[in-house]
Amino acid sequence: MVAVAAWLGAAAVAETPAAVHPAQALIEQGAIAMRSDPEASRRDAQAALAALKLQPDADLEIRARLLLCDYQSERNQAAVDAEVAAIEALLPKARRTGLRAGLLVCQGEMNETLGNNAQALAYYEQAVRVASEAHDDEMIAGALFSRGYVLGLQGEYARGLADLRRAQGLYETLGMQHHALTAMNGVAILYNRMGDYEQARDIYTAALAAQRNAHMLREQGVTLHNLGRAHEYLQEWPEARRAFTESLAIQREIHYPRGEAYALRGLAAVDNGLGNWRGALDTLNRASKLQAATPDARLRAQIDLARGTALRGLGRDDESVVALRSAIEVLRGGDARSELAAAYTELAAAEAARGDWRGAYTQLMLARQVSERLLRNQIDQRFATLRVEFDTAAKEAENALLLRDNRASEQALAQSRAVRRLQAVVIALGALLVLLLAAFAIHQRRASQRMHRLALTDELTGAQNRRGVLGRLAETLAAEQAGPCTILITDIDHFKGINDRYGHATGDEVLKIMAGAVRDALREPAFFGRLGGEEFLIVLPDTALGEGRMTAERMRERVAAVDLSHICPVRRRITVSIGVTVATAGDTPSTMLQRADEALYAAKRAGRNAVRVCPPGGGSAPFADGAQRDAIDQAGSEELQSASGPPA
């Protein structure tokens, strides 16, 4: 809700009119109130619109309507549509072109409330682009905050975390500390979704202390609810009840029904955790009445999930099944894997209690599939997050990375134990499930095969990694009646300079583009892989040395033709140096690599962007040690840094 208000409050800094419009102070006041009392924010925005009728100003009217759009996005879809139409009519008259980003964020928030996260993300992507083109850091931060949150919902934790931290940094640079706290809360939410509940709990606690000092009442209510969720996942029931109760009191104080409903759902979850099924149902009935006032589909699904759990605890299995299926229908389309897995597990128990063993097993398998996907994604994204942080953080951040890595491993072990407990439940279903267990075993074997393939794949480029490509080369050389086999080692020229000048993220994109160019140029039975860094190995079975050299020349020309202007505005081209050799009797991958490496560095010495050949038993002399190679690479880096235009 606060994404639009995240930049409205400071917008006057960018606009310094000769005479201050009477509506401006109301708009700025309303933007601040959004974090404490949304009803006060709505009143301020409406008062600003009344003042604008007497003294029109397109920019100020858009900002006032964006506040109302933000307010209504979680309450009334028709009201949002009316504000969107009014803003679209005003935009052609606006002086501040970036205001369109605020409209896109509001449209995204409405879709997010309705559970349409894919459409919401599309709006947020467009908002980031519009704000960036307008060079408006406040709007960029607001759009990044919204996009990062939805990416987290969809399981793209590394990208979401990068967006939220960038938004937090922009807010801190602009001196917008309240907004930075909101972004900090978003970071904690992503850690919660990654399963790092302890880390999320610590961030929520720190954010809550700062919000109390700043008297941000509404934000305190939101943070207390999120803190309660972290305690709920950790099954710290007394702490969870305390956080949800405090959140409920604040939501009632500011007359925020949606927030009340979320807090009541949390209290019902605590009752379920402690076995107080009737108390949970009473609390959920109150939550449902409040939820009817908002189009929030995910809130309704969470209430149904808690209700299904309570009904099952009371032995009312038929009613439990109805509630749980209603929850699953919404959660399945909302990217809420953790809650979806819990709903399938509860439904399996309810079906088993009704004697429907086949239905119970089906639901249990669905729960397991969702849990496994969630676990794999959490682990993958956690490692991706650690890699991003390692590339951008200082020395003290490296220690934090090690701690997070340990927590990731501990969480993986805990979830693995949970999966094993599910296996025990499946076994208990008895002889009726034998055939289905056989099908599950086949599924497990295929999963192992997929994991084996992943172990031989370079994560960045999608090509085979060093182990994979050298293994295939060894098989090719050992094959009976094998024809001549030529190999090429390619090395991107001046790659260190690309990393130094444009950063490692751009370097990674160059490696992906390089891998794509090689992949497009090869045909079976040829194959390739990444040896490491910027070096790629290309294997050409049944290919003589002369034909291999011609292939290398074509490869060199193909790479030089690739346009990098979309990622490196100054450096528009890359070139490669290529070393070529052909196998002879008794050759191994190691001996062939040594010769191709000699040819590669002969190409480097020849000025780069060249192909050199080292035939069996002869060729250019190898370097005495690695120092000469380092000298060539360093010289290339210095040449790049001093060049005024793209290299040849």
Confirm if 167 and 141 have CB atoms less than 8 A apart.
Answer: yes
CATH of the domain at 565: 3.30.70.270
Instruction: Give residue 285's region: left, alpha or beta (phi > 0; psi -120 to 50).
Output: alpha
Rounded CA-CA distance 577/611 in Å is: 6
Domain termination residue (choose one: 138, 166, 194): 166
Task: Tell me phi and psi for residue 539, to 5 degrees.
Answer: -115, 130
- Least confident stretch, 300-304, 394-398, 463-467, 563-567: 394-398
CA nearest neighbour of 389 among 504, 283, 545, 288 = 504
Averaged over 219-244, what is the pLDDT?
89
Whether residue 13 is predicted with pLDDT greater than 50 in this model: the reply is no
410-421, pLDDT tens digit by residue? 777 777 777 777
The answer as to whether 632 is a domain residue is yes
- What is the token pair recorded at 68? 């109302």
Helices 197-213, 217-233: axis angle to 10 degrees equals: 160
pLDDT band of residue 441 (cuts 50, 70, 90) is: low
User: Same domain for 445 and 557?
Assistant: no
pTM of the full predicted structure?
Answer: 0.48
The answer as to whether 249 is a domain residue is no
User: Same domain for 17 and 54?
Assistant: yes
The pLDDT score that the predictor gives to residue 279 is: 93
Which contacts (CB < 8 Å, 24+ apart) does range 361-365 have?
361/426, 361/429, 361/433, 361/436, 364/422, 364/425, 364/426, 365/436, 365/440
The answer as to whether 383 is a domain residue is yes
Task: Tell me phi and psi for residue 368, to 5 degrees.
Answer: -65, -40
Q: Tokens 């599309």 sit at which residue?
A: 122
User: Same domain for 530 and 419?
Assistant: no
Rounded CA-CA distance 621/211 in Å is: 68
More confident residue, 443 or 587: 587
The answer as to whether 64 is a domain residue is yes
Mean pLDDT of the chain: 81
The pLDDT score that the predictor gives to residue 436 is: 62
More confident residue, 371 or 496: 496
Confirm if 363 and 437 have CB atoms less than 8 A apart.
Answer: no
What residues have CB less than 8 Å from 95, skipping those under 6 apart? 15, 58, 59
- What is the token pair recorded at 192? 């919660």
Instruction: Give residue 356's region: left, alpha or beta (phi > 0; psi -120 to 50).
Output: beta
Provide DSSP, 341-408: HHHHHHHHHHHHHTT-HHHHHHHHHHHHHHHHHHHHHHHHHHHHHHHHHHHH--HHHHHHHHHHHHHH
Whether residue 627 is predicted with pLDDT greater than 70 in this model: the reply is no
User: Same domain for 12 and 92?
Assistant: yes
Tally of CB atoms within 10 A around 394: 6
- What is the token pair recorded at 154? 């969809």
Whether residue 462 is predicted with pLDDT greater than 80 in this model: the reply is yes
Rounded CA-CA distance 216/212 in Å is: 6
Tally of CB atoms within 10 A around 226: 25
Q: Tokens 């590394």 sit at which residue?
A: 158
What b-and-e string marks burial along 340-379, b requiring 16 or more CB atoms within 10 Å of the CB?
A: bbbbbbbbbbbbbbeebeebbbbbbbbbbebbeebbebbb
CATH of the domain at 113: 1.25.40.10
Residue type, 577: S
Q: How many helices (H) and strands (E) does the chain have?
A: 28, 5
The answer as to whether 253 is a domain residue is no
- What is the token pair recorded at 562? 């690739």
User: Same domain for 93 and 13?
Assistant: yes
Confirm if 127 and 108 have CB atoms less than 8 A apart.
Answer: yes
Which contacts (CB < 8 Å, 24+ apart) does range 493-496 have?
493/574, 493/575, 493/576, 493/577, 493/604, 493/608, 493/609, 493/636, 493/647, 494/574, 494/608, 494/636, 494/637, 494/639, 494/640, 494/647, 495/533, 495/534, 496/633, 496/634, 496/636, 496/637
User: Same domain for 416 and 488?
Assistant: no
Whether residue 647 is predicted with pLDDT greater than 70 in this model: the reply is no
Rounded CA-CA distance 522/217 in Å is: 61
The pLDDT score that the predictor gives to residue 296 is: 80
The answer as to whether 648 is a domain residue is no
Whether residue 624 is predicted with pLDDT greater than 50 in this model: the reply is no
User: Same domain for 451 and 470?
Assistant: no
More confident residue, 211 or 173: 173
How deeply is 602 buried, as exposed, middle or buried, from its count of CB atoms within 10 A (0-12, 13-18, 19+)?
buried
User: Same domain for 415 and 489?
Assistant: no
Q: Are strands 535-540 and 486-492 parallel, antiparallel or unpaired?
A: antiparallel
Averaged over 534-553, what is the pLDDT?
95
How deeply is 380 buried, as exposed, middle or buried, from its count of CB atoms within 10 A (0-12, 13-18, 19+)?
middle
What residues have CB less than 8 Å from 603, skipping those under 6 apart? 577, 578, 579, 610, 611, 612
Averaged over 40-64, what is the pLDDT?
90
Averaged over 541-562, what is the pLDDT?
94
The answer as to whether 340 is a domain residue is no
What b-and-e string marks burial along 408-440, b requiring 16 or more CB atoms within 10 Å of the CB?
A: beebbeebeeeeeebeebbeebeeebeeeeeeb
What's 464's DSSP letter? Answer: B
Domain range for 395: 369-455
User: Same domain for 492 and 443?
Assistant: no
Whether residue 264 is predicted with pLDDT greater than 90 in this model: the reply is yes
Rounded CA-CA distance 301/220 in Å is: 24
User: Same domain for 491 and 575?
Assistant: yes
Reply yes or no: is the peptide bond before residue 525 cis, omega within 30 of 0. Answer: yes
pLDDT band of residue 378 (cuts 50, 70, 90) is: low
User: Same domain for 451 and 471?
Assistant: no
Domain termination residue (choose one: 133, 166, 199): 166
User: Same domain for 508 and 558?
Assistant: yes
563-585, pLDDT tens digit by residue? 888 887 766 788 999 999 999 98
Radius of gyration of the chain from Cα atoms? 30
Strand partners, 532: 535
Residue 582 C-beta-side C-alpha neighbours within 13 Å: 17
The answer as to whether 539 is a domain residue is yes
Averaged over 302-308, what is the pLDDT?
91
Whether residue 2 is predicted with pLDDT greater than 80 in this model: the reply is no
Give the total number of structural domains in the chain: 3
Tally of CB atoms within 10 A around 60: 26
More confident residue, 67 or 442: 67
Domain termination residue (choose one: 120, 149, 166): 166
The pLDDT score that the predictor gives to residue 552 is: 96
Segment holding 273, helix H or strand E: helix 257-273
